[in-house]
């Protein structure tokens, strides 16, 4: 009866990253630069893999898909965050909030499965190099990427469906810079116990499954590297794995801190910081950590520049 008599919320107000007017211009410039670097860096990877025949391998197929995901991921959050930093009233409609949450959940979940597929790709490349071309066939690579997207969409549908069961009749102020589950749970006028359980269970399942695959892959890789007789081979293998491990560590640690504990156990401000890492910083860093130390990418870039200069 109380739920029937309440006035339902039709829009939300995001508090954003900060309420201090002095910090907003600095943060706007900082995150605008981050957003532009994310777009330019990831688009460059996609174009480079597309036009360079020497990069038409499973490793770079996954990398180009990761870059596409990072662009989608960043475009889901960053434009609205930048707009809110330049305005006083940071409103978002109820439907817009749900859409942002849905697409954010799709791309975030897809990315962790794609990172696991990339770990498996490195395992096959280092542990079974002679069979690499046979095992990592175009069909299998396509299936792994498609499966990652299907897992992302299924996860997003589940969380969005449970979110639709909640009623929002009181405060409409979301203490965050984008629409996410935990901050919305705080505003709900109905019990969110089921939502928190669903989030912990499904996020826990997704992260545990992908983590086990990554750990198993790198355990086998470590054994293979130790048995290598060539110091150059060990160095090359470690260099390739280090880039992937760096991206995985930053993404998984910050995501686990944000989602794997009930809302009451962590302050919202602390979760904002962790959210910045995996929603804004990681998409910008991925092109750098996967490409700066990669000789094949450098050679492909140099070849393209030489062809442009020649013509």
Q: Cβ(14)–Cβ(174) under 8 Å?
A: yes
Which residue blocks in 128-137 are alpha helix, DSSP H? 132-135
Would residue 18 count as lying in a domain? yes
Would residue 3 count as lying in a domain? no
Would residue 4 count as lying in a domain? no
pLDDT-based confidence at 253, cuts 50/70/90? confident
Q: Which tokens sit at 225? A: 């590297």
**What does the mean pLDDT of the chain come to?**
84
Question: Of the segments 18-22, 95-99, 255-259, 301-305, which one has the largest average pLDDT value?
Answer: 95-99
Per-residue confidence (pLDDT) for residue 269, from 0 to 100: 64
11 pLDDT higher than 90: no
CA distance 16 to 31: 13
Question: Of the segments 8-17, 141-150, 243-252, which one has the largest average pLDDT value?
Answer: 141-150
pLDDT-based confidence at 265, cuts 50/70/90? very low
Would residue 130 count as lying in a domain? yes
Per-residue confidence (pLDDT) for residue 102, from 0 to 100: 95
pLDDT-based confidence at 69, cuts 50/70/90? very high
Would residue 98 count as lying in a domain? yes
Would residue 226 count as lying in a domain? yes
Per-residue confidence (pLDDT) for residue 230, from 0 to 100: 77
pTM for this model (two decimals)? 0.87
- CATH of residue 23: 1.20.1070.10
Number of domains in the chain: 1
Question: Of the segments 96-105, 233-242, 284-293, 299-308, which one has the largest average pLDDT value?
Answer: 96-105
| Structure-model confidence comparison of residues 22 and 153, the more confident one | 153
| Structure-model confidence comparison of residues 195 and 259, the more confident one | 195
Would residue 208 count as lying in a domain? yes
Would residue 2 count as lying in a domain? no
pLDDT-based confidence at 240, cuts 50/70/90? confident
245 pLDDT higher than 90: no
The domain of 230 spans: 10-310
pLDDT, one tens digit per residue, over 208-233 is 899 899 999 999 998 988 888 877 77
């Amino acid at each position: 009866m109380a739920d029937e008599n309440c006035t339902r919320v039709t829009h939300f107000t995001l508090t954003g990253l900060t309420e201090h007017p002095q910090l907003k211009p600095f943060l706007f410039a900082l995150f605008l630069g981050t957003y532009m670097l994310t777009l330019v860096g990831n688009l460059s990877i996609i174009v480079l893999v597309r036009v360079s025949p020497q990069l038409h391998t499973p490793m770079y197929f996954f990398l180009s898909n990761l870059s596409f995901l990072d662009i989608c991921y960043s475009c889901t959050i960053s434009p609205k965050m930048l707009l809110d930093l330049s305005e006083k009233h940071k409103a978002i409609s109820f439907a817009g909030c749900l859409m942002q949450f849905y697409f954010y959940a799709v791309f975030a979940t897809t990315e962790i499965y794609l990172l696991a597929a990339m770990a498996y790709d490195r395992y096959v490349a280092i542990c079974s190099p002679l069979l690499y071309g046979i095992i990592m066939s175009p069909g299998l690579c396509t299936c792994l990427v498609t499966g990652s997207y299907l897992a992302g969409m299924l996860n997003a549908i589940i969380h969005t469906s449970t979110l639709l069961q909640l009623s929002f009749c009181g405060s409409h102020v979301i203490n965050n810079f984008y629409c996410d589950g935990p901050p919305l749970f705080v505003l709900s006028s109905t019990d969110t116990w089921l939502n928190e359980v669903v989030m912990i269970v499904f996020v826990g399942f997704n992260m545990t499954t992908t983590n086990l695959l990554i750990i198993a892959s790198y355990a086998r890789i470590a054994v293979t590297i130790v048995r290598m007789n060539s110091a150059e081979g060990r160095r090359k293998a470690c260099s390739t794995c280090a880039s992937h491990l760096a991206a995985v560590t930053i993404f998984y640690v910050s995501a686990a801190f944000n989602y794997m504990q009930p809302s009451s156990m962590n302050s919202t401000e602390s979760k904002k910081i962790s959210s910045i890492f995996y929603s804004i910083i990681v998409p910008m860093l991925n092109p750098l950590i996967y490409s700066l130390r990669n000789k094949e990418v450098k050679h492909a870039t140099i070849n393209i520049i030489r062809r442009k200069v020649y013509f």
